[in-house]
Structure 1
Amino acid sequence: MRFPRPLQPGDRIGVTSPSSGVAPRMQGRLDVALAALRDRGFDVVVGECMGADRVVSAPRGQRAAELTFMLVDPAIRAVVPPWGGELAIDLVDQLDWDALAAAEPTWLVGFSDMSTVLLPITLRLGWATLHGWNLMDTPFESPEGLLHWLDVAGSTTPFTQRSPGRYRSLGFYDYVGDPDVSTMELDSTGSWTVVGGGDLDVSGRLVGGCIETVSDLAGTAYGDVPAFGREHADEGLLVYLEAAEHGPYDVARALHGLRLAGWFEHANAILVGRTPAPSLDDFSQHDAVVDALGMLGIPIVLDLEVGHTQPFLPLVNGALGRVVVDGERREVTQTLG
């Protein structure tokens, strides 16, 4: 594994939109998010691929070139998109993989559709990438127990995060009406559970992303999790997945596909994020996970703060992780090395 050096105030952060851009009505939130980086002492450069005329910010060749440029520029120490989108998958065969392989690793941050880029960079290059926040989330303060993505990217020692036991069920914030919002309104209670009950203490290299986007990489040269397990994870894997919006039938089919593609061949545990996606009367999101993966005999932990429901628990693809569920204890420790 290759880990980017710790991010420090004074470093330069690149902003580009590998998937969806920013509409004019969201400019206020973008300005607040950029100011949040600058207020922490970072230099910020914004790329040209930021438009919102179409579903993507720019033609795929332009988006791939700008992302590659930022990732190989030694003056840029982290790259973060405003958010995800729909079609980041059209970039994976357009990136200059040779140039990336020759470059010093740079932090690439994001979640949702950005998983489609984060995961291949970790799998193909052995670069650590940071899943869990986007630029538009950056003004938020982390609740007690969790870390901001900037703190994770700046870590020099192992760090532990704990479930705050609260989450947001109210949907997205009104960035147009309140572009300055920085406090997470966590209105509901809930924490991690182990399928079948009991306690758990398990370790492995973290790898994963958004089910709706990374499942389309399975069986391709950009989603070879089994090969990553063989090459980089003598300790085994902790595979984490989260659903953004698909119903449970679609999620079950996607998880079955990942199982058949060997994604859990090296897994010591499977971590599933809390989801805002709907359940059905006869088949819940939890049912979908158990239906597809329950027969593996691998521990499954449900409802981690990973994905599309606040708060955000940032996970580093490639980090050595340890997950503990014991009584009231719900924590994950990551070591960047």
Structure 2
Amino acid sequence: MNLAFESMNRKGFNVISGETAWTQHKAKSASAEKRAEEVNNMMVNENIQLIIPPWGGELLIEVLEYIDFENIQNKWVLGYSDISLLLLAITLKTGVATAHGTNLVDLRGEYSDDTTEMWQSVLSTKIRESILQYSSEKYQKEWQFDNPTPHIFNLTEQTCWKSIGNDNVKMQGRLLGGCIDTIRHLVGTPYGEVQKFKENYIKGDSVIWFLENCELSTTDLRRSLVQMKLSGWFDDCSGVMFGRSSANTPVADYTVEDVYKELSEELQIPILYDVDCGHVPPQITFINGAYAEVELDNGRGTVLQTFK
């Protein structure tokens, strides 16, 4: 954490740290009330324009009922993993854009790789402006915590985005998504009302979902996607992007490619996978609520986001 603070200070940021970034007991940093109070205070603090949690939180869902959604401000919250549950809840309930991308701890290096580094440019994009990002050149196959590089990650494997049918793909729509392990638990709650979000904030626009799997087997992933489908989350959907994953464990020869193929056939939409999103870095910074034009051309991807 101290290294991350030093890195942010070098970039010109004035870092303010909450207490719960330094505490941990029984799978959580503090009580749900205390964690939510810290977020609520940061949200209304005029000296804070960007909130970046150090990493995810296994029991983040506990804080939702204590978050003051009435006072959510137009300031960035950036992160991934369990943090994506809070990000999606904020955007769905309030229409305020949130940023799915790097966590603070992964900014502790001397510099960032080209893909990760785009987070600051994306978050500096103004209303009605656009920002273009490209798929990475290489990705990290496994964490080597005892062998960090100057940009933290060990990027050794050639990146190749794929699609069901091996076709080149173009899709357009509003971005929504996150870590499916966690955001699936918003289904059926007041914090996961996708249809209401569409009616209130993106009338007439379709949705592109970006999803990544941290720990689920293929059958659990399939169950989660079917639940999302039955709840209407995939209504008016123009496509789905799945991030690379070290999970997706096959069950009785049922592979993740089978899961993607079934979803594509059921929804009659394109499916991209192995994109730069989630727990196998690096990752593109996706903005919940942004209008995106996504293209796949012979294994290379581009994401053009417009803030409107």
TM-score over 0.5 for the pair:
yes
Q: Deviations over 1:37-69 (max 9, x none)?
A: 111001111111120133111111010011011
Q: Give the CA deviation at 1:136.
A: 0.3
Are positions 1:310 and 2:270 aligned together?
no
Structure 1 runs not aligned, ≥5 long: 1-29
- Cα offset, 1:74, TM superposition: 1.8
Query: Match for 1:48 among 2, 9, 19?
Result: 19
Question: TM-score, normalised to structure 1's length?
Answer: 0.84
Shift of 1:229: 2.3
Is the 8 Å Cα contact of residues 147 and 314 (structure 1) preserved in structure 2? no
**Counterpart-to-counterpart distance in 2, 1:313 and 1:297:** 26
Structure 2 partner of 1:220? 189
Name the structure 2 match of 1:76.
48
Task: Give the aligned residue type for 1:67.
Answer: V
CA distance 1:211–1:295, change in 2 (3 Å): same
- The Cα shift of 1:291 comes to 3.0
Cα RMSD of the aligned pairs, angstroms, is 1.8
Amino acid at match of 2:64: V
Aligned length: 302
Calculate the TM-score normalised by the size of structure 2.
0.92
* Aligned mates of 1:188, 1:164 — CA distance in 2: 10
SS in structure 2 of the partner of residue 43 of structure 1: coil
The amino acid across from 1:93 in the alignment is: E
Q: Determine whether 1:300 maps to 2:271.
A: yes
In 1, Cα distance between the equivalents of 2:115 and 2:10? 23
Residue 159 of structure 1 and its aligned partner are, at CA, apart by: 1.4
Select the structure with the greater relative contact order (CA < 8 A; seq sep ≥ 6).
2
- For 2:107 and 2:152, locate their aligned partners in 1 and report how far apart those are by CA, in whole Å: 11
**Structure 2 counterpart SS, 1:121:** helix
Q: Distance in 1 between matches of 2:191 and 2:302?
A: 30
Measure how far apart 1:290 and its partner are: 2.7
Classify the secondary structure of the residue corresponding to 2:172: strand
Deviation at 1:178, TM superposition (A): 5.8
- Does the 8 Å CA contact 2:264/2:270 hold for their aligned counterparts? no
Q: Aligned pair 1:279/2:249, yes or no?
A: yes
* Rounded Cα–Cα distance in structure 2 between residues aligned with 1:202 and 1:272: 14
The letter for the 2-side match of 1:251 is L
Structure 2: unaligned runs, 5 residues or longer: none
Amino acid across the alignment from 1:314: T
**Distance in 2 separating the partners of 1:89 and 1:121:** 12
Q: Which moved more, 1:312-321 or 1:278-287?
A: 278-287
1:83 partner amino acid: W
Is contact 2:164–2:264 with CA below 8 Å preserved after alignment?
A: no
* 1:329 positional shift: 4.2
Alpha-carbon distance between aligned partners in 2 of 1:60 and 1:173, rounded to the nearest angstrom = 32
Q: CA deviation at 1:326?
A: 2.5
**1:250 CA drift (Å):** 0.7
